[in-house]
């Protein structure tokens, strides 16, 4: 447990923090079931970096009990030493357990974690840190730093604002408020992170920093007053602080009534519009306990999830089979090809990283009946929520495992671990890349020596290519200009009408159509150039020219 001196220091810090809050306001708010954590943060007071973690809630009530009933504030008032700070039980008897906070719904009081009720006199922060650490360990993640993300019910920022406007409308005329208007609320998320980070660092044995490993704490209202969106933490991550946008509207709908106490002076709305929403009539929106807060409020439920940002593996793949597609290809529930490059590669990486899901991205693709040889084609495998990030040696091992599979359908080269920047690198390079092919071509007459010269004489030949009929059903009908950078004929010994055509073209050129002409829709074509019929028997990609991997 915590050393006594540390507890005393925390206590002193806490007293100091509380002393910044005018006592009569604090008392009023406590009577309205606002917890001390919330009072402090609403006054923009930051708890010490470690939080008041060594203080039990019963000590809070001691301090509250010490608040004088008259006077200007807590400043200058002699705070007596806490007599019974090591004896929680006797405190508990003297001070009944505080009720669930009407602002944070108990989140900062940490009175319920995963259905386990935590007695108020227990140190909830340490308990919470233990629960989180256990949940993280159960997931089996390996990490050297972490960060905490909190998602709370949308009602909480609304509560913050309505409480602020209550204070402003009730105490607006008082000098302390006029001197230093409220508005720098420390959000509940921030406050909770501040509370839980220190103990969690101790429990997990690593530091908290802006890392790629996130611990998500999602709080949900047990009985939501407003409709609570059922977003998963993963979805929440994509939209940041959406809640705040709606607070102005939500404030007025969240069961609040404008306070019409004639004795209360109205707040000058001009002064407070910067921070506090007002209703359309210039009145501050009041915080009215009977209308919005139920005494038997249930504390929020907490779910803990761990997530690591995607890790990327880059490399080049070679495909030696004409019966393997790049990704799993189904037509009418029937599988095309025996397997896919994606399944072979991702199938080795995903289990090794113990991730949730993998995604395969490649720099372009070849038809199922086209082999990918030579340089190979750049690809990325994205692993979501990897529990284990492999070492360089591990990656060598994965590469060997893929390459040593018996079927020899697919190989990988230069496999390495990459950050998310790899993604944009690949997209950038994709458009302007050149590709080199080797095609086995038949022509309807014997090949002549001058044909070799004819084809090799072309440099950056421009061709017009209509969308091939074989893809016209799903692609726009267009005529595109493509560049054939060079061509070279290699004879096949023992054959007069077959040859191997080596060619280098602009990305996006349909090679099969360039050979046979696609009913004259690609022009010129090998057939039209050589003045005969040309057919393509097989095609291989031999180089994808990209400065990547």
452 near other proteins (CB under 8 A): no
Per-residue b/e over 516-527, b at no fewer than 16 CB within 10 Å? bbbeebbbbbbb
Which span (209-217, 246-254, 394-402, 538-546) binds other proteins, by CB under 8 A?
538-546
Q: Using the minimum distance from each CB to other proteins, give the nearer residue, 402 or 439.
A: 439
The encoded tokens of residue 58 equal: 């019963």
Whether 367 is a known active-site residue: answer yes
* Shortest reach from residue 529's CB to other proteins, in Å: 14
Rounded to the nearest 10°, the torsion over CA 249, 254, 260, 261 is -130
Q: Are strands 145-151 and 213-220 parallel, antiparallel or unpaired?
A: parallel
Which span (116-124, 150-158, 453-461, 485-493) binds other proteins, by CB under 8 A?
485-493
Q: Scan for tokens 């669930």, then name that residue.
A: 100
Distance (Å, rounded) from C-alpha 273 to C-alpha 253?
A: 18
List binders of other proteins among 162-191 (CB under 8 A): none
323 near other proteins (CB under 8 A): no
Q: Using the minimum distance from each CB to other proteins, give the nearer residue, 451 or 540.
A: 540
Q: Do residues 48 and 37 touch, judged by C-beta distance below 8 A?
A: no
535 near other proteins (CB under 8 A): yes
222 near other proteins (CB under 8 A): no
Distance (Å, rounded) from C-alpha 325 to C-alpha 368?
A: 5
Q: What is the DSSP letter of 154?
A: T
533 near other proteins (CB under 8 A): yes
Distance (Å, rounded) from C-alpha 267 to C-alpha 165?
A: 9
Q: Is the peptide bond before 404 cis (omega within 30 degrees of 0)?
A: no
Q: Are strands 371-384 and 116-117 parallel, antiparallel or unpaired?
A: unpaired
* Shortest reach from residue 373's CB to other proteins, in Å: 6
470 near other proteins (CB under 8 A): yes
* Shortest reach from residue 371's CB to other proteins, in Å: 7
472 near other proteins (CB under 8 A): yes
* Shortest reach from residue 549's CB to other proteins, in Å: 17
* Shortest reach from residue 511's CB to other proteins, in Å: 12
Q: Using the minimum distance from each CB to other proteins, give the nearer residue, 3 or 331.
A: 331
Phi, psi of 487 (to 5 degrees): -140, 150
* Shortest reach from residue 494's CB to other proteins, in Å: 4
The encoded tokens of residue 44 equal: 């923009």
# of chain residues touching other proteins (CB under 8 A): 37
Helix (H) or strand (E) holding 288: none
Q: Do residues 405 and 344 touch, judged by C-beta distance below 8 A?
A: yes
Which span (188-196, 343-351, 390-398, 474-482) binds other proteins, by CB under 8 A?
474-482
512 near other proteins (CB under 8 A): yes
The encoded tokens of residue 189 equal: 């998320």
335 near other proteins (CB under 8 A): no
Rounded to the nearest 10°, the torsion over CA 317, 321, 323, 326 is 10
Q: Strand (E) positions, 253-320? A: 301-308, 311-319
Could you tell me which residues are beta bridge partners of residue 465?
480, 522
440 near other proteins (CB under 8 A): yes
Half-sphere exposure of 157 (CA within 13 A, CB side): 21
Which span (14-22, 178-186, 370-378, 380-388) binds other proteins, by CB under 8 A?
370-378
Q: Scan for tokens 């007293």, then name that residue.
A: 15
* Shortest reach from residue 463's CB to other proteins, in Å: 15
Q: Using the minimum distance from each CB to other proteins, give the nearer residue, 144 or 479.
A: 479
Q: Which of 28, 356, 367, 369 is catalytic?
A: 367
435 near other proteins (CB under 8 A): no
257 near other proteins (CB under 8 A): no
* Binding footprint of other proteins on the chain (CB under 8 A): 320, 371, 373-374, 438, 440, 442, 466, 469-477, 490, 492-495, 498, 500, 512, 516-520, 533, 535-538, 540, 542
Catalytic positions, please? 367
């Amino acid at each position: 447990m915590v050393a006594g001196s540390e507890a005393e220091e925390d206590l002193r810090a806490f007293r100091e923090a509380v002393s910044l809050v005018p006592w009569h306001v604090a008392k009023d708010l406590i009577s309205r079931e606002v917890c001390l954590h919330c009072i402090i943060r609403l006054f923009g007071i930051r708890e010490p970096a470690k939080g008041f973690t060594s203080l039990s809630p019963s000590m809070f009530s001691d301090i509250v009990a010490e608040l004088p009933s008259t006077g200007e504030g807590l400043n200058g008032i002699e705070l007596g030493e806490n007599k019974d700070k090591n004896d929680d039980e006797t405190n508990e008897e003297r001070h009944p357990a505080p009720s669930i906070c009407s602002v944070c719904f108990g989140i900062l009081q940490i009175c319920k974690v995963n259905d386990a009720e935590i007695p108020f006199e227990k140190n909830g922060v340490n308990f919470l840190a233990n629960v989180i650490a256990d949940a993280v360990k159960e997931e089996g993640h390996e990490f050297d730093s972490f960060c905490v993300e909190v998602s709370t019910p949308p009602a909480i920022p609304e509560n913050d604002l309505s409480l602020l406007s209550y204070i402003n409308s009730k105490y607006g005329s008082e000098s302390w408020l006029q001197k230093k208007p409220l508005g720098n609320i420390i959000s509940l998320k921030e406050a909770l992170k501040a509370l839980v980070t220190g103990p969690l660092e101790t429990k997990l044995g690593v530091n908290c920093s802006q890392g790629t490993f996130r611990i998500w704490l999602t709080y949900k209202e047990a009985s939501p007053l407003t409709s609570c969106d059922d977003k998963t933490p993963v979805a929440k991550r994509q939209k940041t602080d959406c809640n705040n946008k709606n607070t102005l509207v939500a404030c007025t709908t969240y069961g609040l009534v404008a306070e019409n106490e004639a004795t209360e002076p109205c707040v000058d709305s001009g002064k407070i519009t910067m921070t506090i929403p007002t209703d359309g009539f210039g009145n501050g929106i009041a915080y009215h306990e009977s209308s919005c807060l139920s005494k038997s409020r249930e504390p929020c439920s907490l779910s803990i999830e761990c997530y690591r940002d995607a890790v990327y593996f880059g490399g080049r793949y070679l495909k030696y089979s004409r019966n393997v597609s790049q990704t799993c290809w189904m037509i009418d529930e029937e599988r095309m090809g025996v397997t896919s490059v994606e399944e072979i590669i991702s199938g080795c990486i995903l289990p090794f990283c113990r991730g949730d899901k993998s995604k395969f991205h490649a720099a372009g693709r070849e038809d199922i009946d086209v082999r990918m040889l030579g340089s190979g084609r750049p690809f990325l495998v994205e692993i979501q929520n990897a529990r284990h990030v492999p070492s360089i040696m591990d990656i060598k091992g994965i590469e060997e495992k893929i390459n040593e599979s018996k079927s020899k359908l697919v190989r990988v080269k230069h496999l390495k671990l990459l950050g998310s920047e790899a993604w944009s690198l690949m997209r950038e390079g994709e458009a302007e890349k050149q590709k080199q092919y080797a095609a086995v071509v038949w022509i309807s007459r014997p090949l002549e020596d001058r044909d070799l010269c004819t084809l090799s004489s072309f440099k950056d030949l421009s061709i017009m290519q209509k969308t091939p009929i074989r893809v016209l059903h799903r692609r726009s009908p267009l005529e595109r200009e493509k560049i054939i950078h060079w061509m070279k004929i290699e004879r096949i010994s023992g054959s007069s009408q077959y040859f191997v055509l080596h060619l280098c073209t602009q990305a996006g050129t349909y090679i099969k159509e360039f050979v046979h002409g696609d009913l004259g829709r690609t022009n010129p074509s090998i057939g039209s150039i050589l003045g005969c019929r040309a057919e393509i028997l097989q095609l291989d990609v031999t180089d994808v020219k990209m400065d990547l991997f």
